[in-house]
Structure 1
Amino acid sequence: MPIGGGKDSLVSVELLKRHGEDATAVWVGNSPLIAACAARTGLPTRNIERQLAPELFEYNKLGAYNGHIPVTAINSAILAVAAVLYDFDSIVFSNERSASSATLEYDGQPVNHQWSKGWEFEQRLAAWLRTHVAADLNYTSLLRPVSELAVTRLFAQHSRYDDVFSSCNRNFRILGPRPADRWCGQCPKCHFVFLALAPFVPKPRLLSIFGRNLLDDESQAPGFDALMEFAAHKPFECVGEGRESRAAMLALSQRPEWREDALVARFVDVVLPQIGPLDADLASLLAPSAEHGLPPRLAGIIDAFG
């Protein structure tokens, strides 16, 4: 069970526990934040070290771009090797169905920042591993049937991770400043996780996790607009679909504890009149789909998504 430090893998951990599955929490690299999350799960742990070629940093100094690193694909290959070496029968990621949605369309082609987290990649790699590595090695994502909002609803049931988890990618920078308190509060990941948790987590608990109210800060409007695909495309980050963000904001606008916050009120006054009727509501986005690669022994976990 790969642990990334965020909400998704921790939801998978709790689902496997409830299902009575033996699992080992594994992470690649040397992040103290991920190590703390893995320890909090109570599962056996295994840490795999990884080093970047120093030449990459020299190329950057000479002007080379970093580009996008498909870290899920890289870690999938690393964990496939580990599964064979240490005699595991399954590699279980925590990639939800929202990851298959394109970030934007360019020149008639879908462009997906999260492609290596998506369903197409999962199917291709799972088939390749069965054919070329081990016929009985399962590679799957436990959360594939559900949306990001369904994941946050499940995460809301477990407060034990509130003080250790973070989905803010700035925690994992190799160079440059990192957040002092796990959440920078400025990036697309912080914006989306705050918005996606808000319909399911009591407001005082959510503000305690983040240390501030991101939806009552007018300066954050452009970031939330991008999440809703309002006057901007979805950010090139691992965030949910635009319709999920719109549905979450609409749900908050109907709740007394949220509707007077600056960006929720702005959604009602400015955004909603321009985007018209929403293309999905909260209830429809929470329903699981039948599209997944779970082996029969794990398929019963889908019942927990209902």
Structure 2
Amino acid sequence: MKRETIKVHQLTIHDHHLDIIYSADDFKFATKVFYHDLSFNILTRKYSQPLIARIAAYIALFEGMKLCSLFPNYYDISLIAKNLDKPVLDLFTTIYQGVFGQHWYENNITDYPGPEIIYPGLSLANSQPIPISGNNSTVLTGCGGGKDSIVALKLLQEADIPFASMQYSHTVYGKADIQHHLISGVLEHVTPIKKHKISIYDDFLDYPLLELYFPDTSGITVPETPVSIFEALPLMLNHGYNDLALAHEKSANTGNLFWDKLGKEVNHQWGKGYEAEKELNQFIQANLLSNFTYFSILQPIYDFRIFKNLTKYPEVLPKIHSCNIQKPWCKKCPKCAYVWLGLMAAFEPASVDAVFGSNLFDDDDLLPIFREMVGLGEHTPFECIGEIDESRLAMKKCLEKGLSGKAIEMFKTDVLVDHSINWQQIEQKYDNVYDTEHAIPDWIFSKIRGHL
């Protein structure tokens, strides 16, 4: 059962948060975006009401994309249309089609390009970008509490580049206070100049909506990374930050499978990848903030090298967390299995055992997931994990350490017997630092290159 029209029903800018109401025909949902150390009243006086209204409109537009999980025919943006620029229609389509490929695949949808965006009787704007005030060389750096975040923050710290942290909680990951507590534990191991918090509460993700009304629809897709870039802009304006760094690895650029029915790659991580990064960076520079730069500081390296770099900081091992099911680790999902595999390959096994407390290689429930990771399934698991050869390399490292379990036996009998695999070439690829295909500003890359 599809919805006919989703709509931005209400957008209110309060002093410390945005309150957004959406409708999907006769259903209504609320998204609230809280900024723990920011006053929109002060920010409006510092810049202008029209600019803050524009940024809020972009946040509302892309937060609403998750309702496209219901396959609506229309997305009515009349309420915010005057504060959006015409090029956003192309950006919306690009992001939707990149992020929702997995949703199409899981629902076997081949004839739905996305909703038609409507704003009857109104026009979109054609605004000029404005500069962020000030000249703050501090890099605003996202921290979600995982291995990538701490490696990125340590990179900046070791390169003597001043940075501020931006920690972010979202309903999709559970209770906000638990998320912030866990992230704060990771941040104890670095020294940011400032620590910022954003908390997002979203009842669309809380309701048993799909279960009761759309039982044939597989899951809800949230364009979390792209919308988080727009949600960071108020912090950048408030503090005069020009550079926004996240910690997305080179592995995110590779999809899970090529879907013949659509003739395109399906990539669970598309929103984290280099293509999305370029699109968002160029759009914001051209239409919102002229001296803004967004980049991933880990784009030059693969996960294999990130795990390797992480071993320089064994004290953070008990603090990092990456599970999207039950933080810090559910030990039953693809993300837990993949991170555990990478940690076991890179660290002394006893230190990883002290955190996880069990041998995931011997878990019958995870065996099919490990098979998919090493290329023995229809596609790799739909999670933020590395490439097939990357997982194979990590498992080979575990085998060389003398680790055992059912997944290791599977690897020996179904992968290692293939003598055509060039393991030396594979390791060279994943342990390399790539000087191109990233958007890191030259002044930053020149300082961090030796630490990557």
TM-score of the alignment, normalized to the shorter chain, above 0.5: yes
Contact kept, 8 Å, 1:39 with 1:45, in 2: the verdict is no
Structure-1 separation of matches of 2:366 and 2:356: 14
Q: Which residue of 1 aligns with 2:164?
A: 24
Per-residue deviation, 1:158: 0.5
Q: Does the CA-based 8 Å contact 1:230-1:275 persist in structure 2? A: no
Tell me the alpha carbon deviations over residues 224-263 of structure 1, each in whole angstroms, 9 at most, x when there is no partner. Answer: 11111213310111111111001111232233x32x4432
Q: Which of the residues 236, 240, 265 maps onto 2:409?
A: 265
Q: Do residues 13 (structure 1) and 162 (structure 2) align? A: no
Q: 1:125 to 1:55 in 2, by over 3 A?
A: closer
In 2, Cα distance between the equivalents of 1:165 and 1:240? 18
Q: Is the 8 A contact 1:216 1:261 kept in 2?
A: yes
Give the deviation of 1:77 after TM superposition. 1.2
1:82–1:222: structure 2 CA closer, same or farther, 3 Å change rule? same
Following the alignment from structure 1 to structure 2, what is the Cα–Cα distance between the partners of residues 47 and 55? 21
CA separation in 2, counterparts of 1:27 and 1:55? 20
* CA deviation after TM superposition for structure 1 residue 103, in Å: 1.2
CA–CA separation in structure 2 for the residues paired with 1:278 and 1:190:
28
For the 8 Å contact 2:157–2:190, the answer to whether it is kept is no
- Whole-Å Cα distance in 2 between the matches of residues 219 and 116 of structure 1? 29
CA distance in 2, matches of 1:292, 1:132: 22
- With normalisation by structure 1, the TM-score equals 0.88
> What is the alpha-carbon distance in structure 1 between the residues aligned to residue 361 and residue 298 of structure 2?
27
- 1:63-212 correspondence to structure 2 within 5 Å: 63-64=213-214, 65=217, 66-107=219-260, 108-171=263-326, 182-212=328-358
Aligned length: 294
Partner SS state of residue 169, structure 1: coil
| Secondary structure in structure 2 of the residue aligned to 1:49 | strand
* Deviation larger for 5-14 or 209-218: 209-218
**Which of 363, 375, 395 is the equivalent residue of 1:249?**
395
- Matched position secondary structure for 1:272: coil
Structure with the higher strand share, 1 or 2: 2
**Most deviating of 44-53 and 242-251:** 44-53
Point out where structure 1 has 5 or more consecutive residues left out of the alignment.
Answer: 172-178
Q: Is the CA contact (8 Å cut-off) linking 1:26 and 1:38 kept in structure 2?
A: no
The CA deviation at 1:54 is 5.3
Which of the pair has more CA radius of gyration?
A: 2
* Unmatched segments (≥5 aa) in structure 2: 1-140, 170-175
| 1:97/1:147 contact within 8 Å kept | yes
Kindly report the root-mean-square deviation, in angstroms, between the aligned alpha carbons of the 2 structures: 2.1
Q: Deviations over 1:148-202 (max 9, x none)?
A: 111111111102212221111113xxxxxxx5xx211111011111112222211
Instruction: Quote the offset at 1:87 in angstroms.
Output: 1.4
Identity fraction in percent:
25
Is the contact made by 2:165 and 2:195 (CA closer than 8 Å) also made in structure 1?
yes
Choose 227-236 or 35-44, whichever is displaced more: 35-44
- Asked if 1:282 is matched to 2:431, the reply is no
